Structure 1
Amino acid sequence: MFERYRRLLFSIAYRLLGSAADAEDAVQDAWIKWAAADRSQVADPKAYLSRIVTNLALERLRSTRHQRETYVGPWLPEPILTGGDAAEAVTDAESVSMALLVVLETLSPLERAVFVLKEVFGFSHAEIGEAVERSEAAVRQAAHRAREHVRARRPRFPADRARQRQATERFFAATTGGDLNALLELLSPDVTLWTDGGGKVRQALLPVIGAEKVAGWFAAMAGRSYAGVAAEEITAELIGINGGPGLLFGGAGRVIATVTFDFDEDGRIAAIHNVANPDKLGAVVGGKAYDVS
């Protein structure tokens, strides 16, 4: 029974925590609690297990909040590889996108849990109330606040997957070829670049904003060593990351960074998320794709 819901439990925990490693730990802890429970008294295993993993994730989220507030540079979620199914299912892809996970970081732990359980997994307000130990009225209020907060910071546009993949390919060609004009054509005027090196890899400590500044940043990086790897040894692969097309960079026998994109209503790149902190790249090593639908 636990294995039947393992994927669901990981999917909930990852969206709550923004970390595949922490989500895996939460699922393992949920298994320990499940194994010790009197399962003859469990009428609805799915709801029971979802409640367990939600509370475990909330505990972990609250305990790591200070670490994230004192993080060196921007804190970005831990990227995961996603297969074709997640990339084609627009709702699933959006709910696990790096852009949305960044917005979810700005919610309170309770609001984040309510939003994920309601908007992504379709749990009722009553079911969520049981999971987070709040009244149904309190859950409704938290759901409304979270939904309005996300809508204000995360406008949704129709996802043209082929167009996004083409833009990603063009971005890679422009950056590696040093074509500044081609790069500027792909970027929204107010594009924002977020780089996460965690103090372990040299990155921009503040967001880089504006097409010319972002294009200049990537142009300056072209042909240089990165994360201790010489430019001529760096490889790049176009691959599904967090439900959309992304770039996976490697060299010297290891993964050194991921780059993912968010697009505006015109199909231009509105945000770029670059994760290079080696502590956050474990989930993209080895080519394992997560099913987070």
Structure 2
Amino acid sequence: MKRPYFGWLWLVAGMLAGFGLPGSWSAETDTSLMPPDIRRIVKRGELIVAMHREDGAPFYTLDKAGQLCGLDVDLAESIAQTLGVKVRFDRSSATFDGLVDFVAAGQADLAISCISRTPRRAMLANFSTPYVRLYQALLINRVKGPRAGNALPIDQWLNAPNIRIGTISGSSYMDFAVKDYPKAEIVAYEDFDKAAAAAVRGDVHAVIFDNSQITLWVQQHPEEVLYVQTRIMKDKEDPLSIVVNWQDAQLLNWINTYLATMEGEGRLTALRVKWLGKESSP
């Protein structure tokens, strides 16, 4: 049986053992044994990672010094370092769907930006094994929300013609909302702050997004708890994955192998604890 890719694995291991730092590949490095998708990145000396234009703490945001930081940033930098190249973040996309399109068009090697897997997106690109699992969550207007003593399950309450549900345009939650609540009116907003403000005003009955973003918003806006309440739906997971071009089969395999290695060594758990404050297993 022909084994076309094992040789380059040993080559990578040897080179990393000898150098181990970003950008350590020299112009004389023999990349002939590497598959084309890995060779492309190594010869360029740079891993291009697509990331959303708007900050999304704790996954990607600017610190007080103006430096990009977060779980996704640390993960991307770790991947680049292990490949022996530098990382460049392209933050030109204004939507999460746009990030997937960016990778599918070959304008970035990867997209790492709190991206959910959906069947529609998987028609355009490949997705790695999850590195974090979040949950779908709701920010509910207290006046328009379910009345005390209402025994109706939250999904049934939301799926009604008189209910308005807000979410973010170009996000996976547009897909989730349309699929799970077909009777409700789905209202798209440019970003989460605008959607949350609509929930506070009562323009929508609820906003649906991931539990990390909703929890962070509540922490940053404690005065608004008078007007809204939260509900985390533990039965609806939202796994986050790295987006890879559908033609880059070996890069996808390498990413999955690297994530499994990080998990086995406890480094991925350490990243989740560092940025999410607690374990959030994949």
TM bracket, shorter-chain basis? under 0.3
**Which has a greater percent of helix?**
1
TM-score computed with the length of structure 2 as normaliser: 0.26
Question: Which structure has the larger Rg over C-alpha atoms?
Answer: 2
TM-score computed with the length of structure 1 as normaliser: 0.25
**Which has a greater percent of strand?**
2
